Structure 1
Amino acid sequence: MLDVTNPRTLGRSICIITGASRGFGRALAHEVSRWLQPGSVLLLVARSETLLQELKGELWSFIVDQQSAVHCVAADLSTREGLDETVRVARQEAVTEMDRVLLINNAASLGNLSNFATFTGIDEVNSYLSFNVSSALVLTAGILQAFPRVPLQQRSVVNVSSTFALRPLPSWVLYCTAKAAREMMFRVLAEEQPHVKVLSYSPGPMDTDMQRDILRLTGVKNHLLPCQESAEKLVKLLLDDDFVSGTHLDFFELKKLTSRDDTTM
């Protein structure tokens, strides 16, 4: 089983990444694969089969060198069928002994950026919350059931969050509400299941399709991070494993702490 005294490995793991075909999820797939031991499994989930297969090709050296597996699940996580298929494929790997089960809930959408008073139709709101909140709850519960606790096995759940889970922004009511709901949802999980390590990670504004949509819709241009830089920070948090379960950590706050430590050395 995993040598917990060695922080520089994720062990022989099954890692499920949602929203894996683009942007941050794609960068995470590359970064996580660098720290997995032979015999691991990467389960990549997104809507686009084509993009997933391209990503699998990019990870080919990982598959060969590590004698590991990459499975692609082209699924719409806003539907029961998509959620059930993702859990079904993950459960197939449950028969294999693993050091760690790691679920990264990255899939999300921007939603309609409009004033609060414009949301008079319940269908639009329900549809948004179903994909951005309900699906993360159902998928996480399904994965935890598929991988019940066993001695010495680590189970970790990451919620890809946002600074807007903690502070409001005009015209972003759907996005802020969903991120805040997910934040509390995973804090409850941390309280209920102390043997599951839970992290809400705010990756910062990254060079993704979502940020290009924000620029087009609002005219606001942010300084954008490379996805790989933020992915490296998240994986380092998982490797070090010294955060309190259920906590919210932000890329920029972590960067300030790192810079401060460097100046005092």
Structure 2
Amino acid sequence: MMLSEEEQRWTWELKQAMQHRPNLDEENDMWLAHYCIIAQGDLSNALKRITRIQAFQKQYGVNNSVEQCVEMLSKLFELMPGGILYLDVDPMKNEGLHIMNSGKHNQIAAMETEENWKTCLVGFYYYFLVCQPTLATIRNGQYTMADFGSFDWDNLKLEFFYKYNLEFGDMYPVQCSKFLVFNTGTIANVMFSLTKHIFPPAIMSKVELGCTVPLGEENEAPRSLSEMYLQPSLLEANNRMLSRARELMTLRTKMEAHFQF
């Protein structure tokens, strides 16, 4: 499925509006449609997102290339080992799949240097983008699972969440189809309570706390998502994700090159 008649109208209106804003760089039709699908006809919202994301791209030298995507994801994996467990697109539902271990998201390290902060932001930018290679995946949103079993007080840095959201998080054009949170404890529950006013309601409304990993053999205690996805090793799991990210980002760049509404 490409664009509906309504989405085509939104995209045309946005394209016309862009011509009267010399401060904005030209966007290809794929990106225009991307913003319009997320904004759902709200032209002001689409323009606000474009303005913020273009500023973000210029500040951090984001060029939307396959090579930079793989490079920055690799750096993100090094900055937060075991923090990213899986990325792909569900071939049946045409939605992005994100699986993370939030206890391994080293927020202190991310804010330690400017280079680390760039790695964090640009790495997550591409983590979202690779799972949006087609209009269908943009439209259907991203399905996220996050394990909070090892989440502790060092992960609860409100400055990190404020800064992340201010520079990038609240304006990146993505739909959240579902956000399942596994193995939550007191600290994780406090975190979601404190950050519910930071992140967009459209995301927070999809959060489901208290999920558990299916029991393993012999009715053992619920395992972590890391045990399920970092097999047979962290290195091999990372290499699989980088290979898949390359494939998905290549598809995205081809769509951008050829799509015209």
Alignment TM-score, normalising by the size of structure 2: 0.27
Structure with bigger helix share is: 2
Alignment TM-score, normalising by the size of structure 1: 0.27
